[in-house]
């Protein structure tokens, strides 16, 4: 499985833009720490998907710096994907969290999905006071759909291989 990344080399301090190609699918990815860029991304998503906002599916994941002591590091990045568009918001470098993001994450018409999403959502709430409503853990969903109890504790790599038949290098 090949993954290619093309940097658009945007001459702005506010953001970077990438085309990430995974198994032939091109994903336009915005990397930013700037609240106004988050506003724009959300507005674009809601415009593109306006006919299905009542059933919008949003992939969600978070990352943080590893800790080598008892002190937990806060969530550093929030990753959101809808269709073939992704946002990587660098929370650690953001001057503030935009209201548009708070509203997006708490919109009950949107379903946020991920592997281990409950832990991610709790960490977002504890670290940044960001609430996320209407979540579905893909492990449980896959376990029920495929009648495979072992999927209940599977990681993203395993689920991707078993459910989609694709290899990812994490």
Residue 170 has pLDDT above 70, yes or no: no
**Which H or E run contains 64?**
strand 57-64
Give me the residue spans of the domains in the chain: 3-137
pLDDT tens, 73-107? Answer: 889 999 999 999 999 999 999 999 999 999 999 99
The DSSP letter of residue 83 is T
Q: Which CATH number is 3-137 given?
A: 3.30.420.10
- pTM of the model as a whole: 0.88
pLDDT tens, 13-67? Answer: 899 999 998 888 899 999 999 999 999 999 999 999 988 888 899 999 999 887 7
For residues 42 and 135, what is the distance between their CA atoms, to the nearest angstrom? 18
For residues 137 and 78, what is the distance between their CA atoms, to the nearest angstrom? 17
pLDDT tens, 106-150? Answer: 999 999 999 999 999 999 999 999 999 999 988 878 778 777 877
Residues 41-62: b if buried by 16+ CB within 10 A, e if exposed: bbeebbeebeeeeeebebbbbb
Residue 1 has pLDDT above 70, yes or no: no
């Amino acid at each position: 499985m090949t993954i290619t990344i093309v940097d658009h080399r945007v001459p702005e301090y506010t953001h970077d833009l990438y085309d990430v190609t995974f198994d032939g699918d091109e994903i336009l990815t915005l990397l930013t720490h700037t609240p106004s860029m988050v506003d724009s991304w959300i507005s674009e998503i809601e415009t593109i998907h306006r006919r299905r906002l009542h059933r919008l599916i949003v992939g969600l994941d978070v990352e943080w710096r590893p800790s080598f002591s008892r002190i937990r590091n806060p969530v550093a990045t929030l990753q959101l994907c809808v269709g073939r568009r992704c946002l990587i918001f660098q929370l650690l470098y953001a001057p503030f969290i935009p209201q548009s993001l708070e509203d997006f994450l708490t919109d009950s018409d949107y379903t946020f999905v991920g592997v281990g999403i409950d832990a991610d959502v709790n960490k977002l709430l504890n670290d940044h006071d960001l609430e996320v409503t209407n979540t579905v853990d893909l492990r449980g969903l896959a376990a029920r759909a495929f009648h495979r109890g072992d999927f209940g504790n599977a990681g993203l790599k395993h689920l991707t291989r078993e459910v989609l038949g694709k290899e990812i290098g994490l």
